[in-house]
Amino acid sequence: MFVCHASPLRIYFRWLGNEASKEKVKTGRPTNLNLFSIKWPVTALVSITHRISGILLFLATALLLYLLDLSLASEDGFKQAGELLSTPAAGFVVWLTVAALLYHLIAGCRHLLMDIGIGETWRAARSAAAAVIVLSVIGAILAGFWIW
Amino acid sequence: MVTNATSLGRSGLFDWLIQRVSALVLLAYAVCILGSLLLAPELDYASWRSQFDEPAMQIFSLIALLSLCAHAWVGVWTVTTDYLNEAHLGRGGTAVRLLTQAACALLTLTYLLWGARIIWGG
């Protein structure tokens, strides 16, 4: 089995443990909070990106609801929404949102599969994490072609 | 059992379940909406409007909206409790977390009521 000694999560928990036990016992274990010197295995990268894309989608929901509201309000509003989407800035934001959505959905499927016992070993989790990245990049490129 | 005053289901196991069930609903809704947009590139107002006027679609949309709000809350709660705490931010950590969570709760509630208006108010 692979053991990842320097995963950010592991360091984070070790550090939390240190913080908690500071009063009682000095563990003497080294702590490292420099994110740039921490190794980022592909699983950690997929995990943090899942969180970032989730926060992004939470904020982008405002834009999506606005577009839905505008486009359903009237014939005029529908046209306005279409014109808004064809501006480069709004187009970019919508592309970013669709890309984040695709990523979040694909990475979420990996979690759901793990929940039912598929891909729980470190090796499988790592391959699946790499697959999440590859599929999302393909999805993001296709979404770009679709929007522009 | 550890409970937390700000978690949605008052237990980690229930939050876990809410997150998974809402994820499945949102997956189905996203596939449905993205699929319909992909299959109809030359979308016009009348067909877009009538799609959302279908009673089945209104119910599906509302369930998806509820799922989105619950899913977002569990996610925001997880991220804020992980990073906005006293271990990371020092003494003010709890205040920062509660204020951020309050702002996110307000936004989530706004999405819920605004979305419900769009879906049913038309």
- Distance of alpha carbon B67 from alpha carbon B73, whole angstroms: 10
A17-26, B13-22, B100-109: least confident range: A17-26
pLDDT at residue A148, rounded to an integer: 81
The more confidently predicted of residues A145 and B110 is B110
Which of the four pLDDT bands, split at 50, 70 and 90, describes residue B122?
A: low
Q: Point out the residues of chain A with pLDDT beneath 70.
A: 1-27, 31-35
Gap from B49 CA to chain A (nearest CA, Å): 6
Give the separation between CA B26 and CA B75, rounded to whole angstroms: 14
Angle at A54 between CA A49 and CA A55, to 5 degrees: 100
Rounded alpha-carbon distances, angstroms, from residue A132 to A41, A61, A135, B76, B79: 14, 23, 5, 22, 21
Contact A31, A15 (CB under 8 A): yes
Residue B30 to residue A105, Cβ atoms within 8 A = yes
Report yes or no: A137 at the B interface, CB cutoff 8 Å. Answer: no
Say yes or no for a CB contact (<8 Å) between A65 and B115: yes
What is the pLDDT, as a whole number, of residue A31?
A: 65
Question: From the CA of A28, how many Å to the nearest CA of chain B?
Answer: 18
With an 8 Å Cβ cutoff, is A101 touching chain B? yes
Q: Determine contact: A80 vs chain B, CB below 8 A.
A: no
Please tell me the distance from the alpha carbon of residue A70 to that of residue A65, in angstroms, as a whole number: 8
Yes or no, beta carbons of B76 and A68 under 8 Å apart: no
Could A112 and B76 be called an inter-chain contact, meaning their C-beta atoms sit closer than 8 Å? no
ipTM over 0.90: yes
By Cβ distance, the residue of A54, A65, A115 closest to B75 is: A54
Inter-CA distances, B107 with A61, B74, B101, Å: 10, 14, 10
For residue A95, count other CB atoms closer than 10 A to its CB.
Answer: 16
* Residues B62-95: tens digit of each pLDDT: 999 999 999 999 999 999 999 998 888 889 999 9
Q: What is the rounded CA–CA span in Å between residue B82 and residue B52? A: 38
pLDDT at A2: 42
Asked if A23 has any chain B CB less than 8 Å from its own CB, the reply is no
- Quote the pLDDT of residue B14: 93
Query: Among partner residues B45, B104, B107, which is closest to A78 by beta-carbon distance?
Result: B45
Partner-chain residue, chosen from A51, A72, A75, that has the shortest CB–CB distance to B122: A72
- Give contacts of A54 with chain B, Cβ < 8 Å: 72, 75, 79
Q: Considering only CB atoms, which chain A residues are within 8 Å of B44?
A: 78
Contacts of B79 in chain A (CB under 8 A): 51, 54-55
Q: Does B10 touch chain A (CB under 8 A)?
A: no
Contact A140, A102 (CB under 8 A): yes
pLDDT value, residue A4: 44
